[in-house]
Structure 1
Amino acid sequence: MDKPVATQELIFRQDYFDDPAGWQAIADLLKDIFGVDISPLNVLGGHDRSNMPSAWFDTDGRCVANFSAFSMPLMIEGRRVKAAGLQSGAVRPEYRGRGLFRELTRITLQRCEEAGYEVIVLYTDKPGLYLPSGFVTVPQFRFSGPAPAAAGMAATARRLDVRQPTDLALVRTALANRTPVSNRFAVADQSLMFLLNAYLVEDVSLSFIEAFSATVAWRTAEDGRFELLDIAAPTIPPLAAILAALGQTPVHATVHFPPDRLDWQATPAKDEGDLVFMMRCAPGLIPAEPSCLSPMAEF
């Protein structure tokens, strides 16, 4: 790999997450810049071992600029694709305007190419930063419609809390044995983002449905609409069976991923959220139909 541009009084480092001081330095950077606390990862299993961080540190050991890539295999139109997610792109204000972010982007994309990733994805509120590097914006959709009648089964699901060790172990098992929630477009294998979102996002409910060995992430909107966020299970149950097991009888439902495995018809509507989803890949790998990654996979 090409060497990074020369910088005065800065130390270039890669793959430093196993160093406790380095891990604390990236945690401090993300907390200072984004207000995001990644310390729960310490109790959720540690950092993703596939992560490839590249960063500059000052002489006091502070991380002043970072960009990371991690493995996030995707299911795209029935094919498992080797994909990477980009995250933790940040530069401290006093070091901006020196080309550090541009250089870290170049280095990180080069590392992804050398690792053989077919697809690179990211979320951003500044898509213009990534257009010159070959990324394109891919609209994200939500899928809504009348809720199906609950299937004839008892409400047997129990709530889970990833802060409890026994529940955390159960969710990890479900994630390790999951099938992609959609055949059209979905995460094929990634657990730490699911766990971190379950830990940090206050309105997410996790329930375990023993009949399907399924962990279901869901919530109820203010208007009473049922929202299905994700499912970690060996086989995806129909939406009617999920509602029955949860004891939910809503009039309407919204699903935050393509519902092709839910035995339910829905209408897609474009998501108008602040974050933009972008992909860098061959044109044929960009979903042709309305799609969305689960919010539990957001990073």
Structure 2
Amino acid sequence: MKPLQFRSDYAHSRQGLSELTRLIDDVFEVDVSPLDRMGHDRSIVAFGWWLGDELVANVSLFERRLWLMGEQVRGFGVQSVAVRPEWRGKGLFRDLMERALDFADARADLVVLGTATPDLYTPFGFRQLTETTFSAGLAPKQARPGYRILTLAENRDLAFLKDLFARRSPVSLLASACDDPALFMLKAVTTPEIELIHLPDLDAIVAVEGRHGPSMTLLDIVASTIPSLDAIVSALGYAGERIEVHLTPDRLSWTPEQEARVDNGHMVRGVFAPEGHSFMLSSMQV
């Protein structure tokens, strides 16, 4: 059998992207190929073990641009952690994590990841974050609907979203991110129940779920200036009874009635200033 070869030169090559797409689909049954059309994050650095032309194990880093307690912080995110089943138990995951974290630690003080298997990452110094969802009842009010539902299958809508991302204001100064739009777009494409809606009077795009039910969830806002929650609800013409907000609401001119602590899957390594406060980082990522 050919020996395995370590490589870190493939994150932006056609062959590398093709193999990474195949690995993620085979291991997690998640199709990331829409990013070939929508655009990959150019900040990604990949660490992988290859058997000839086949990628058998991978860990990737990407740049995180965060607002934490009123300050801009640059760190790294971990993504695309995958090992083919026949190669597990051979130390490849640990090896690649250590290589990736050595790279990150030399350049930043914070590494963030999202996972449903936190026990895999605690040995590397990661700890789970407790986050918060925010909610309140909605009083009847006069709505002024003015919106357009976006579809990222349309080049016009894709270009518009990218343009607004380039002008994006942080949705929260307490805890939020202004990252590359790649994972946001992939989340929207792979989760049909999420709607991306343009509110032209507010120069904003919102990601929402449950717009036709009694309770709507606001997942994220992409805007040059963050509008108030009342303005968003009015522009959507939403007439339901309740709103849930799955982002830190300090810029929404709104006071929630209830807060609920949740595990949103985020783990951190390093100093994370909002820890101990009520916050939520957007889950608009895959």
Please say if 1:285 is aligned against 2:273.
yes
Q: Given that residues 57 and 92 in structure 2 are in contact (C-alpha distance below 8 angstroms), is that contact kept between their aligned partners in structure 1?
A: yes
Match of 1:253 among 232, 243, 246: 243
On the 8 A contact 2:2/2:51 being kept in 1, the answer is: no
Alignment partner of 1:269 is 2:260: yes
Q: Give 2:132's aligned residue.
A: 141
Residue matched to 2:283: 295
Provide the rounded CA distance (Å) in 2 between the counterparts of 1:237 and 1:148.
19
What one-letter code is carried by the residue in structure 1 that aligns with 2:249?
Answer: P
The equivalent residue for 1:31 is 25
Please give the TM-score of this superposition, normalised by the length of structure 2: 0.94
> Does structure 1 residue 103 correspond to structure 2 residue 91?
no
C-alpha displacement of 1:219: 1.5
| Residue pair 1:121, 1:277 contacting (<8 A) in 2 also | yes
Residue 203 in structure 1 maps to residue 196 in structure 2: no
The structure 2 residue matched to 1:74, chosen from 37, 46, 66, is: 66
Q: Structure 1 pair 159/62, CA: closer, same or farther in 2 (3 Å)?
A: same
Q: Does 1:48 align with 2:72?
A: no
1:139-288 matches, cutoff 5 A:
139-147=130-138, 150=141, 154-220=144-210, 224-266=214-256, 267-271=258-262, 276-282=265-271, 285-288=273-276
Change over 3 Å in CA distance of 1:184–1:82 after alignment to 2 = same
More displaced stretch, 137-146 vs 69-78: 137-146
Q: CA deviation at 1:222?
A: 8.2
RMSD: 1.8
Cα drift, residue 133 of structure 1? 1.4
The residue identity in structure 2 corresponding to 1:98 is K
Give the distance between the partners of 2:15 and 2:186, measured in 1 at CA.
21
Distance 1:141 1:15 in 2: 39
Unaligned runs of 5+ in 1: 1-6
Residues 229, 256 of structure 1: 8 Å contact kept: yes
TM-superposition CA deviations, 1:123-146 (whole Å, max 9, x none): 112212211211111012211111
1:286 shift after superposition: 4.6
- Deviation at residue 153 of structure 1 after TM alignment: 6.1
CA deviation after TM superposition for structure 1 residue 291, in Å: 1.6
Q: Which amino acid aligns with 2:146?
A: T
Counterpart residue identity of residue 38, structure 1: V
Question: Who is 1:4 aligned against?
Answer: none
Cα-to-partner distance string for 1:245-290 (whole Å, 9 max, x where unaligned): 1111221100001111111111221225xx62100012x6252312
Q: What count of residue pairs does the alignment treat as equivalent? A: 285
Q: Contact conserved, 1:220 with 1:227, CA < 8 A, in 2? A: yes
Pairwise CA distance, 1:292 = 1.4
TM-score, length basis structure 1: 0.90
Q: Deviations over 1:88-117 (max 9, x none)?
A: 111111111111100101000011122x22
The letter for the 2-side match of 1:228 is L
Q: Distance in 2 between matches of 1:182 and 1:8?
A: 50
How is 1:97-136 mapped onto 2 (pairs within 5 angstroms)?
A: 97-114=89-106, 116-136=107-127
Cα distance in 1 between the residues matched to 2:37 and 2:139:
38
- Partner of 1:73, secondary structure, is strand
Contact map agreement 1:174 1:233 (CA 8 A) in 2: yes
CA distance 1:97–1:222, change in 2 (3 Å): farther
Secondary structure, aligned partner of 1:67: strand
- Which amino acid letter does the alignment assign opposite residue 166 of structure 2? A
Of all paired residues, the percent bearing the same amino acid is 35
